[in-house]
A and B are shown apart, each in its own frame.
Chain A
Amino acid sequence: MQAAGLPSFRSYRLHHYRQIGVAARLAIGAPILLLLVLTVALVSLSLGPVDIPTSHVAWIVLSAFGIDVPAFGRTEQLVIEQIRLPRIIVGASVGMALGVAGATLQGLFRNPMADPGIIGVSAGGAVGAVVAIATGMTGLFFLALPAFAFAGAIAASLLVYGIAAVGGHFSMATLLLAGVAVNAFLGAIVSAIIILLPDNEALREILFWLAGGLDSRAWEHVWIATPLILGSAAVLLLLARDLNLLMLGDDEARSMGVRVGLTRVVLLATAALATGAAVAVSGTIAFVGLVIPHILRLILGPDNRVLIPMSALGGALFVILADTVARTIIEPAEFRVGVLTAFVGAPFFLLLLIKNKRQVYSL
C-alpha cells in the first residue's frame, strides 16, 4: 500500500538500468567495491599512532595465514591483531548493517529519505545505552552497554511495529508515523535522563556514546555483532527480489506470489536486528544508512538485488574510511567517527542531491 504523501516507487525508471543486467551490475560493481573495501582496510591497518612499517603490517597479516615471513615486533603484532583489526572489522560490520538496513527500509517505505532510525532502532538503542550508563550498569559487566543498547533497539522497533499492527491491520503509513512519534518520545527520555543526571562523568559517557564511535572495540565486539549482521544481511539479500515486488505495491506483489505480510515483517525485523547489533557496538553513527543506499541507488538503480549487497560493501567502505580518519587526524587523540560521518556525509549527500535533482525526484 502506498503511504500518503510518499513518492511512488512505481515511477522507477528501471529502463535506465535495464540496459545492464542485474548479474552484470553485480559482477562489475561488487568486485570493485570489495577491492576498495579490502584496500582501505589494509591501509587502515597500517595507520595509527604506533608507527608500524607497511612491510611489517604485511608480514603480520601473512603470518596469520601461516606463511613464513621475516621477524617483526611483538608489540607491533599485538597492536595489529588486538587493537586495529577488531576495530576495522567492527567498523566494516557496522557500515554493512547500516547500509543494508537503510536500503531495505528505503525500499519498504518507498521513500529514499528513510533510514534505519525511522523504525526507532537508533533511538531505542540510545535509551538502552543511556539507562545502562545512568544506572551504573556499565560497571557491572563488560558487555553491559552493548547488551542494553541492543535490547533497547529491538524493544523500540517492536513497539513501533506493534503500534502499526494494532487491530490486526498493518499499515506502512502508521508504521512511519509511529516511528516518528516513538523516536520523539525516546529522544525525550534521553534528554530527561541527561537533564536529571547529577554525575558529570556519566553525562560525558552519554554524550560520547550518542556521538557514535569505534574506540576500544575488541574481538568480543566482533563476536557479538558481526555474526548477527552477516546473518541479517544474508536474509535481506535473499528477500531482495520480494522487496522489489513489494515496492510495486501490495497487490502486484501478492499477484506475483509474495506473502506480503510475512515478508514485510521479516524484512523489518531483520533490518532492526542488523541496526540494533550495529548500534550496540558503535553508538549512533549518523548518515550511513541514509546516504550510502541513496548514492548507490543513483549510480546503480533501484533493484534491491544489486542495491542491498552493494550497500553492504559501500557502508563498510564508508565507515572504515571515516574511522581511519577519526583515529589518525589528531593522533594520539581521537575524533568521533559518528561526527565525522555526518560532517563528510551530509555535504556530499547534498551535493549529489543538487547535481541529480531530476533523477532523485523521479525516485
Chain B
Amino acid sequence: MSIQQLRIIGVLVVLLFALALTACSSNEPPPAPVEPPAQTATTPSTTEVVEVPEEQVEIEPVAATEEPISAPDAAPAPEPEPAPAPDPEPEPEPVKRPLDSVRGIVDPTNSGWPREVEGLNGIVTVPAKPLRIITASVGHDEMTLALVPEERLVAVGSATKNATYSNVAALVQEKVEISRDPETIVAQSPDIVVTSPFFSVEGVEALQRAGILVVQTELKHDPEARINSILLMGYIFGEEERASEFADEVQARYDALVAVTSAKEPMPRVLALTQYSDTLWVAGSNSTEGGVITAAGGINAAEEAGIEGNQTTSLEGVIVMAPDIIIIPQPVEFGAEEFRQSLFEIEALAETPAIKNGNVHVVESKHFTTLSYWNIRGAEDLARILWPDDFPNPPADTFSLAE
C-alpha cells in the first residue's frame, strides 16, 4: 500500500467521522421549550404554561401546539366534555373513590386539565380530555372499553381483534388495525397512547418524536394493581367517576370470591401447565396465572417449586411439583384438549395426584393470560373447579361497559 493510498484512506476516515458526528448531532431533538397547548375549537385547553421539571419527559410541544388534541379528521366524536377552561381553580368533578392512593397520579386533588400522571416513561402532562385513544395492548384495550365509550378507542392491535386472546374481540372488529410499527399509530392521530411495559422504548420514543402523547403504565398481576390500573386510566381519560364505579364492580366480584376462597382449607396445589409443540410451560410466581390461582384459593405449585414467571419444564418437573390439580390455560385451537388427553397416557405421570384423580382441566386461556380485570373472571372459573360446592352457579359472563 502506497503513502498516497494511505492518505486517501485517512481523508476518507476523517470525512466519515465528521459525517457521523453531524448525523449524531442532527438526531438530537432540539431543546424544545415547553409551550402551552394551543386552544382549539374542539378541545379548548388551558393556556397555562406547564412547568416540567428537568427529569420529566417533554411530550407535548408538537402535538399540543401544532395539532388539535382531537384530530380534525376524526369521526364525529361525542360532544366534548365541558371545556377544561383556563380557570385556575377548575370545578372538581364528583369522584367516589379517593385518588390519593392511586399510583401514577401526580396530584390527586387536580381534577381539571391539564393533569399530570407518572408512567414508566416519566411524568406526562395530559393537556385535555383525550377523545382519540389508542393503547397498543390487549389488557389496556379491555380496560379502556370498560371506561370510555367504544368510539373513543380509535384503533386496536390484531391481538385485541382475535377472540383467542382478547375478551373484547367482538366489540372491536370494525376498528382500524394498528401494528408494531409506530407509523400505523401516528396515522390514526390519537390524542393519547397508553401502552404497556412491553411496548418497546424505541416505539415510545418514536411516538413522542411524532408529537403523540404517550403514557406507559405498569401492568402487574395482583388484583390491587388491577384496581389501580382502572383508576389511573380513568384519570388519564378524564373518566374518574366511571372508573370509580367500575373499580367497585371489579372489587365486589373479587371480594365475593376471596371471601369464600380465603377461608378454605386445605388449599389444593394447582399447576398451570401448557404445551406448545413439545415444550411444556408452567406459570410460577409473578405470572398472571399464578395470581389467578391464588385468588381462587389454590397454592401455585410452580411458585412453590421456585419457578418465577412463565418457564419451560419437563415431565419430571411436573412429577416433582406433584400438583393436585392441573389447569391448562391454552387455546383449544392450539391443542389444549389433545394435550389434556396425552397427559393421561404418560405412564410416568400416573402417580401424580392430578393425573391419578383425573383433575386436569382445560380452562379459557384468555381469562388467565390477559393483563386486565378479566383475570377475576379466570379466578371465578378456577374457583368453581376447586370448590364446586361453594360456587354452584356460573359467574357473570362479562363486566359492564362504559356508555
A74 nearest CB neighbor, chain B only: B351
Return chain A residues, CB-CB under 8 Å to B56.
none
Inter-chain CA distance A92–B312, complex, in Å, is 22
Nearest Cβ in chain B — how far from A55, in angstroms?
19
Q: Is A356 an interface residue (CB 8 A)?
A: no
A332 touches B320 (CB 8 A): yes
B320 touches A201 (CB 8 A): no
Interface centre among B275, B279, B316, B331 (most CB of A within 10 A): B316
Q: Is A75 an interface residue (CB 8 A)?
A: yes
Residues of B231-283 whose CB lies within 8 A of A: 275-280, 282
Partner of B276, one of A84, A208, A327, A331: A208
B277 touches A138 (CB 8 A): yes
A213 touches B279 (CB 8 A): yes
A333 nearest CB neighbor, chain B only: B311
Q: A260-279 toward B: CB 8 Å interface, digit per residue (1/0)?
A: 00000000000000000000
Given contacts A139-B338, A145-B278, A200-B165, contact A216 B315 (CB under 8 A): yes
A129 nearest CB neighbor, chain B only: B277
Q: Is A78 an interface residue (CB 8 A)?
A: yes
A75 touches B351 (CB 8 A): yes
Closest 4 CB pairs of A and B: A332-B317, A78-B348, A333-B311, A216-B278
A333 touches B351 (CB 8 A): no
Partner of A205, one of B276, B314, B350: B276
Interface centre among A49, A79, A82, A84 (most CB of B within 10 A): A49
Q: Which of B76-84, B156-164, B385-393 contacts A (4 or more CB under 8 A)?
A: B156-164
Inter-chain CA distance A83–B318, complex, in Å, is 12
Given contacts A75-B319, A208-B277, contact A332 B314 (CB under 8 A): yes
Q: Is B42 an interface residue (CB 8 A)?
A: no
B309 nearest CB neighbor, chain A only: A333
Q: Is B188 an interface residue (CB 8 A)?
A: no
B277 nearest CB neighbor, chain A only: A205
Return chain B residues, CB-CB under 8 Å to A205.
276-277, 279
B312 touches A208 (CB 8 A): yes
Inter-chain CA distance A128–B330, complex, in Å, is 24
5 more contacts with CB within 8 A, not counting A201-B331, A215-B278, are A82-B346, A327-B316, A330-B311, A332-B318, A333-B312
Return chain A residues, CB-CB under 8 Å to B282.
333
Inter-chain CA distance A331–B314, complex, in Å, is 9
Return chain B residues, CB-CB under 8 Å to A78.
347-348, 350
Return chain A residues, CB-CB under 8 Å to B71.
none
Q: Is B334 an interface residue (CB 8 A)?
A: yes
A133 touches B277 (CB 8 A): yes
Inter-chain CA distance A50–B349, complex, in Å, is 12
Residues of A207-259 whose CB lies within 8 A of B: 208-209, 213, 215-217
B314 touches A327 (CB 8 A): yes
Q: Is B371 an interface residue (CB 8 A)?
A: no
Chain B contacts to A: CB under 8 angstroms: 158-159, 162, 164-165, 275-280, 282, 284, 305-307, 311-321, 330-331, 333-335, 338, 346-348, 350-351
Inter-chain CA distance A141–B98, complex, in Å, is 56
Nearest Cβ in chain A — how far from B399, in angstroms?
23
Range of interface residues on chain A? 35 or more
Partner of A215, one of B159, B164, B284, B314: B314
A83 touches B314 (CB 8 A): yes
Inter-chain CA distance A332–B279, complex, in Å, is 13
Q: A298-342 toward B: CB 8 Å interface, digit per residue (1/0)?
A: 000000000000000000000000000001001111101000000
Return chain A residues, CB-CB under 8 Å to B305.
332
Given contacts A332-B307, A334-B314, contact A79 B279 (CB under 8 A): no
Return chain A residues, CB-CB under 8 Å to B277.
133, 138, 145, 205, 208-209
Q: A123-160 toward B: CB 8 Å interface, digit per residue (1/0)?
A: 00000000001001011000001000000000000000
Partner of A83, one of B276, B306, B316: B316
A81 nearest CB neighbor, chain B only: B348
A82 touches B348 (CB 8 A): yes
A139 touches B335 (CB 8 A): yes
Q: Is A68 an interface residue (CB 8 A)?
A: no
Inter-chain CA distance A83–B165, complex, in Å, is 33
Inter-chain CA distance A333–B284, complex, in Å, is 10
Q: A184-214 toward B: CB 8 Å interface, digit per residue (1/0)?
A: 0000000000000011111011001100010
Nearest Cβ in chain B — how far from A307, in angstroms?
33
Q: Is A48 an interface residue (CB 8 A)?
A: yes
Return chain B residues, CB-CB under 8 Å to A202.
276, 334
Given contacts A208-B276, A216-B280, A332-B321, contact A198 B307 (CB under 8 A): no
B351 touches A50 (CB 8 A): no
B276 touches A216 (CB 8 A): no
Inter-chain CA distance A139–B312, complex, in Å, is 19
Nearest Cβ in chain A — how far from B289, in angstroms?
14
Inter-chain CA distance A362–B307, complex, in Å, is 49
Nearest Cβ in chain B — how far from A251, in angstroms?
36
Interface centre among B306, B319, B346, B351 (most CB of A within 10 A): B319
